[in-house]
């Protein structure tokens, strides 16, 4: 059973607009959530994270929102740039257990 | 720091052959793991290690063996390759998995394996 779900396999956004990537999880024991970005032929790279004690974390153009009651998190990218085109993975963890990844969402930012 | 390195970058095997994918990190990370990425399946955990001499199975461990004799190295062995093991393999490392350190994992560049 998938514990971390990214229900949108792909998303297209115009340059300069907001990109919103969504992620749902089923395990209420998860206490830390991360977003990774992956370009073709490269390994995933860490983008931003959030602890379950927070509901928002911001880093430049990237903001992650966590809604614990809905078991939902989202990544906002504002403004979107062509270089943001990549696959984005949501991941979740709880203490002493490995990260669990979603299947990823391919973001295409169109100039 | 080189970070996480993986060799080889590409490999083609015939069914039944064995091989070892190499992974090394120079960040003194305790935790290392292996993932495979398949189209539409995301990143699935194969095996992981919380320190030298300690390994455990992930979500998809069948057909793979690991060992961790040093902090730096975490090789993944395919005992008898099958076409279902055609995939891109990523090694990752981090300081720990939840003893007060960051959960952030650093990934290697990947090994693309094809089994014919």
| pLDDT tens for chain A, residues 1 to 111 | 789 999 999 999 999 999 999 999 999 999 899 999 999 999 999 999 999 999 999 999 999 999 999 999 999 999 999 999 999 999 998 877 788 999 999 999 999
For residues B2 and B103, the answer to whether their CB atoms sit within 8 Å is no
Q: For residue B101, what pLDDT band results from cuts at 50, 70 and 90?
A: very low
**DSSP β-bridge partners for residue B4:** B25
On the question of a cis peptide bond just before residue B79, with omega within 30 degrees of 0, the verdict is: no
Cβ within 8 Å of B, A 56-85: none
At B114 the three-state DSSP class reads strand
Q: What is the mean pLDDT of residues B19-37?
A: 95
**Minimal Cα–Cα distance from A20 to chain B, Å?**
19
- d(C-alpha B1, C-alpha B73), whole Å: 15
pLDDT of B97 > 60? The answer is: no
pLDDT of B1 > 70? The answer is: yes
CB neighbour list of residue A69: distance below 8 Å, 6 or more residues apart:
none
**Minimal Cα–Cα distance from B43 to chain A, Å?**
6
Contacts of A45 in chain B (CB under 8 A): 107
């Amino acid at each position: 059973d998938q514990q971390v779900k990214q229900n949108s396999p792909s998303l297209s956004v115009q340059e300069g607009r907001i990109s919103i990537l969504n992620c749902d999880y089923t395990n209420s024991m998860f206490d830390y959530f991360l977003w990774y970005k992956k370009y073709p032929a490269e390994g995933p790279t860490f983008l931003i994270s959030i602890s379950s004690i927070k509901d928002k974390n911001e880093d430049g153009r990237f903001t992650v929102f966590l809604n614990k009651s809905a078991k939902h998190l989202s990544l906002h990218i504002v403004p979107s740039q062509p270089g943001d085109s990549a696959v984005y993975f949501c991941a979740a963890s709880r203490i002493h257990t490995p990260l669990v990844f979603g299947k990823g969402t391919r973001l295409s930012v169109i100039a | 720091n080189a970070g996480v390195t993986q060799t080889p970058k590409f490999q083609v095997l015939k069914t039944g052959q064995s091989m070892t994918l190499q992974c090394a990190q120079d960040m003194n990370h305790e935790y290392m793991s292996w993932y495979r990425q398949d189209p539409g399946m995301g990143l699935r955990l194969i095996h992981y290690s919380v320190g030298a001499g300690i390994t455990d199975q992930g979500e998809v461990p069948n057909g793979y063996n690991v060992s961790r004799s040093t902090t730096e190295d975490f090789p993944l062995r395919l005992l008898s390759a099958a076409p279902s093991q055609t995939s891109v393999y990523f090694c990752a490392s981090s300081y720990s998995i939840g003893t007060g350190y960051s959960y952030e994992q650093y990934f290697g560049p990947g090994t693309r394996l094809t089994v014919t």
